[in-house]
């Protein structure tokens, strides 16, 4: 869709709209089967079996724009702050993004979730942040920022943890998300 809408390659748009203006120095989009080194290994946890490394379960380029990019945690923090604050989009687009309805990210983030356009609102007992969660085999992520983009939290876990597959562990992870939000907003 990006290529059809812009007439440019997805990589070029990612570079011009995200990497360069947001100062993302350690972010890449693999196009072949190999995950560029160094990378954090992802694991499948299925007790009582030992954790299984599933880092290469999918070819790195197979999921491509659907979330298989290689992003350093520091770049995730820069991205979420810039994205939430609206530094890279026009005011009308930001207003449209920030019209929230009942809905949840997958997996759910901390507190009460609401869905905007490509962004979620997480209302916790410590305050409100905006961001996104995500997961794929071996990985679970949460990144959020206050509306000004001056405070943020990034949580990266090297296992796919979901309410359906790891219920009690997922609730502990959501509690960790909430602690991160409280620390970021304090």
pLDDT tens digits, 26-58? 776 766 677 777 778 899 988 899 999 998 887
* pLDDT above 60 for 1: yes
Residue range 66-78, pLDDT digits in tens: 555 566 788 889 9
Does the pTM of the predicted model rise above 0.75? Answer: yes
Domain assignment of residue 18, yes or no: no
- Considering only residues 167 and 53, tell me which one the structure prediction assigns the higher pLDDT: 53
* Site of tokens 């160094």: 38
Task: Say which residues have a Cβ less than 8 Å from residue 107's Cβ, sequence separation at least 6.
Answer: 133, 135, 140, 161, 162, 163, 170
Q: Please provide residue 53's backbone torsions phi and psi, each rounded to the nearest 5 degrees.
A: -70, 115
Domain assignment of residue 3, yes or no: no
* pLDDT above 80 for 62: no
Domain assignment of residue 160, yes or no: yes
176 backbone φψ class: left, alpha, beta (φ>0; ψ -120 to 50):
alpha
Q: For residue 101, give the CATH number of its domain.
A: 3.40.710.10
Domain span at residue 129 reads 42-185
29 backbone φψ class: left, alpha, beta (φ>0; ψ -120 to 50):
beta
Q: Compute CA distances 83 → 97, 113, 132, whole Å.
A: 11, 18, 11
């Amino acid at each position: 869709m990006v290529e059809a809408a812009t007439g440019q390659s997805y990589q070029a748009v990612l570079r011009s709209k995200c990497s360069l203006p947001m100062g993302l120095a350690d972010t890449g989009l693999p196009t072949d089967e190999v995950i560029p080194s160094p990378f954090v290994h992802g694991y499948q946890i299925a007790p009582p079996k030992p954790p299984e490394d599933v880092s290469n379960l999918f070819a790195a380029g197979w999921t491509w724009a659907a979330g298989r990019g290689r992003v350093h945690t520091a770049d995730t923090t820069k991205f979420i702050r810039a994205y939430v604050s609206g530094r890279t989009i026009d005011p009308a687009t930001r207003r449209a993004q920030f019209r929230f309805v009942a809905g949840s990210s997958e997996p759910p983030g901390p507190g009460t979730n609401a869905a905007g356009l490509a962004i979620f609102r997480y209302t916790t007992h410590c305050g409100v942040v905006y961001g996104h969660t995500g997961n794929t085999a071996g990985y679970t992520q949460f990144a959020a920022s206050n509306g000004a983009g001056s405070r943020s939290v990034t949580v990266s876990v090297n296992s796919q943890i979901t309410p359906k597959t790891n219920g009690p562990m997922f609730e502990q992870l959501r509690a960790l998300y909430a602690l991160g939000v409280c620390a970021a907003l304090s």
